[in-house]
């Protein structure tokens, strides 16, 4: 029994050594930065007191246009090469705030109101399977990940009085995309990526000052992102 146990330990040690040898030079960490051009559609809509869409109550689609921003993306990741197959994981953040604004007229008071929706505190984690093309740092890959961010929607009068405020709500979004890495020697990579993100909806309800009616407001955000980045590689 003892002899069998020693053989199992020896076989496991040999397999471990072979695996480590096979992976040597095929694992790396990387850090980088990228400008991210993003178009975000906030889809801010509201319902009437009965829960039905009401195009006359401050506008059925208060903010429905696409808003463009450029943010700074910072990322860190780990990559593993198995022959021509690439498996990677990455964490990232995007610095700055995405903002969309519009104006509308209150149906009851006829007052002009300013609407604002924001997205901030963005954190991302991705799984990135790919296929190596040419050199080991040049590859095409898919992106499947999670984007978590804070959203807020407000509406105020021309004198700056806030009449609607959703407060801050953190929502998660599913990221789907594709990218291309270009190796720039042993220690650098450049990349181009496109990512679509669909966020979960969130709602908030506000009342008229006399508590006579309420409106339910909803944001249904999604975004399209295009980024061009460069990263520094640390081979293991």
Per the model's pLDDT, the better-predicted residue between 104 and 234 turns out to be: 234
Interval 51-88: pLDDT, tens: 444 444 444 455 656 678 899 999 999 999 998 999 99
Q: Is the pLDDT confidence value at 145 over 50?
A: yes
Cα–Cα nearest to 76, from 62, 88, 63, 59 = 88
Looking at residue 208, the DSSP 8-state letter turns out to be -
Q: How confident is the model at residue 12 (pLDDT cuts 50, 70, 90)?
A: very low
pTM: 0.77
Query: For position 46, what pLDDT does the model report?
Result: 66
Provide, rounded to the nearest whole percent, the portion of the chain with pLDDT above 90: 42
Q: Is the pLDDT confidence value at 1 over 70?
A: no
- 201 exposed, middle or buried (CB, 10 Å; 0-12, 13-18, 19+)? exposed
Per the model's pLDDT, the better-predicted residue between 109 and 140 turns out to be: 140
Q: Is the pLDDT confidence value at 22 over 60?
A: no
To the nearest whole number, what is the mean pLDDT of the chain?
79
Q: What is the CA radius of gyration of the chain?
A: 25
Provide, rounded to the nearest whole percent, the portion of the chain with pLDDT above 70: 72
């Amino acid at each position: 029994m003892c002899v069998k146990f020693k053989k199992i330990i020896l076989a496991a040690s040999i397999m471990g050594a072979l695996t480590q040898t096979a992976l040597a030079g095929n694992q790396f960490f990387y850090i980088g930065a990228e400008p991210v051009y993003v178009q975000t559609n906030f889809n801010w809509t509201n319902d009437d007191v009965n829960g039905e869409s009401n195009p006359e109550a401050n506008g059925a689609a208060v903010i429905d246009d696409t808003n463009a921003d450029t943010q700074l993306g910072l990322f860190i990741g780990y990559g593993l090469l198995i022959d021509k197959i690439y498996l990677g994981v990455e964490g990232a953040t995007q610095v700055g705030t995405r903002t969309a604004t519009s104006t509308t007229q209150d149906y009851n008071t006829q007052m002009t109101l300013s609407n604002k929706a924001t997205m901030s505190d963005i954190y991302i984690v991705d799984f990135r399977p790919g296929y190596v093309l040419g050199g080991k740092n040049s590859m095409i890959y898919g992106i499947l990940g999670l984007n978590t961010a804070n959203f807020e929607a407000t509406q105020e009068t021309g004198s700056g009085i806030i009449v609607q405020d959703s407060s801050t709500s953190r929502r998660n979004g599913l990221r789907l995309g594709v990218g291309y890495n270009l190796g720039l020697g042993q220690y650098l990579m450049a990349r181009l990526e496109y990512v679509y993100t669909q966020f979960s909806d969130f709602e908030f309800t506000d009342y008229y000052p006399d508590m006579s009616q309420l409106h339910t407001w909803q944001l249904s955000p999604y975004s399209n992102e295009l980024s061009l980045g460069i990263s520094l590689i640390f081979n293991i």
